[in-house]
Amino acid sequence: MITGATAGIGRATAFALARHGFRLGLVCRSRAKGEALSEALRAEAGAADVALFVADLGVQTDVRRAADEILAGFPRLDVLLNNAGVFQTRFEETADGIETTLAVNHLAYFLLTDLLRERLVASAPARIVSVASNAHRFARLDLNDLEFRNRPFGAMRVYGTSKLLNVMWNAELARRLEGSGVSANCVHPGGVNTGLGDQNGGVLAQVGGLVKRFLRSPDKGAETSVHLATAPQLVDVSGRYFANCRERRPSAAARDAAAQAQLWELSEALVAGSASPAG
């Protein structure tokens, strides 16, 4: 199951996993793009079986509905690949009233994984792979202001902070999954030539045109995600951060176990509002 496969690194990852022979599930926000991708995966990568789940990952009721559909459609789940992400240049809120970067880059990973967790455990050995970034080193963590409501909205700082949350959450998730047969690892894909941030227009899109020539291709950017999803020697490796298919040490902030536990509690509270009274 892969999120954000309609473009960039996710698209390249989906093609690579199709060539590995996986039955694929795609979580996409645009049905038209998802259908075009499914068709391309069948025609160009020989994917025999592709299922599409339409959800805006910034909307928690969409995430919950997609999870229900996935649970109904997939009796086993070997790999969950949290990949969809955004780079916002200005403060915006989702329909849930949550700052968009936090909602899409962190809370969607948190909520979708939580909702699919029992299915992954029942399918063990299984793997959770989450695309973070080396940009986590530019983060400014304030657990009292995860949405940047009370401080200046610096695009790189906000994005980097969301990616720091990916690394911190991954470590806590791995701890909570210990002994279950499900691993959780996260990835820095490198600097990759994708459309990340283009939707915002402005300076980033213009400067991006120059900078992008020096970035790696989406196929190259997908390599570490695919490695973590498939390499047999990694079956017992969990809670780690990888780049270029090798383990790396994340920042000191990312390794703070007390902050990781606190982030978990805060994230639970931020998704609780969208749960039905029955849970």
Ligand X SMILES: NC(=O)c1ccc[n+]([C@@H]2O[C@H](COP(=O)([O-])OP(=O)(O)OC[C@H]3O[C@@H](n4cnc5c(N)ncnc54)[C@H](OP(=O)(O)O)[C@@H]3O)[C@@H](O)[C@H]2O)c1
Q: Least CB distance from residue 253 to ligand X, whole Å?
A: 17
Comparison of 101 and 260: residue with beta carbon closer to ligand X: 101
Q: Least CB distance from residue 250 to ligand X, whole Å?
A: 13
Q: Least CB distance from residue 49 to ligand X, whole Å?
A: 20
Q: Which two tokens stand for residue 81?
A: 């690949």
Piece in contact with ligand X (CB under 6 A), picked from 45-53, 115-123, 190-198, 254-262: 190-198
Cis previous bond, 189, omega within 30 = no
What is d(CA 228, CA 167) in angstroms, rounded to the nearest whole number?
A: 15
What is d(CA 14, CA 83) in angstroms, rounded to the nearest whole number?
A: 11
Annotated active-site residue in 53, 109, 110, 159: 159
Among 1, 10, 79, 80, binds ligand X (CB under 6 A): 10
Establish if 208 lies at the interface with ligand X (CB under 6 A): no
Q: Least CB distance from residue 265 to ligand X, whole Å?
A: 23
Rounded to 5°, angle at Cα 189 from 186 and 190? 135
- Nearest Cα neighbor of 263 from 178, 168, 187, 173 is 168
Pairing verdict, β 2-3 and 24-28: parallel
Q: Which two tokens stand for residue 121?
A: 């455990």
Establish if 196 lies at the interface with ligand X (CB under 6 A): yes
**76 and 123 in contact (C-beta within 8 Å)?**
yes
159 catalytic? Reply is yes
- Nearest Cα neighbor of 57 from 8, 104, 98, 117 is 104
Range 201-204 contact pairs with CB under 8 angstroms and sequence separation of 24 or more: 202/89, 203/89, 204/87, 204/89, 204/155
Counting residues that bind ligand X (by CB under 6 A) gives 27
Among 131, 171, 186, 234, binds ligand X (CB under 6 A): 131
Q: Least CB distance from residue 106 to ligand X, whole Å?
A: 10
Among 46, 125, 195, 202, binds ligand X (CB under 6 A): 195
Establish if 160 lies at the interface with ligand X (CB under 6 A): no
The DSSP secondary-structure symbol of 138 reads: G
Among 15, 29, 80, 173, binds ligand X (CB under 6 A): 29
Among 88, 113, 133, 170, binds ligand X (CB under 6 A): 133
Among 25, 160, 189, 250, binds ligand X (CB under 6 A): 189
User: What's the order of all strands across the beta sheet hosting 241-243?
Assistant: 50-54, 24-28, 2-3, 79-82, 126-131, 182-188, 241-243, 246-248
By CB under 6 A, what part of segment 54-113 binds ligand X?
56-58, 83-86, 104
**25 and 69 in contact (C-beta within 8 Å)?**
no
Establish if 194 lies at the interface with ligand X (CB under 6 A): yes
Residue linked to tokens 């029992």: 118
Among 1, 9, 14, 228, binds ligand X (CB under 6 A): 9
Among 1, 2, 4, 115, binds ligand X (CB under 6 A): 4
Establish if 25 lies at the interface with ligand X (CB under 6 A): no
Q: Which of the residues are catalytic?
A: 159
Site residues for ligand X per CB under 6 A: 4-10, 29-30, 33, 56-58, 83-86, 104, 131, 133, 188-189, 191-192, 194-196
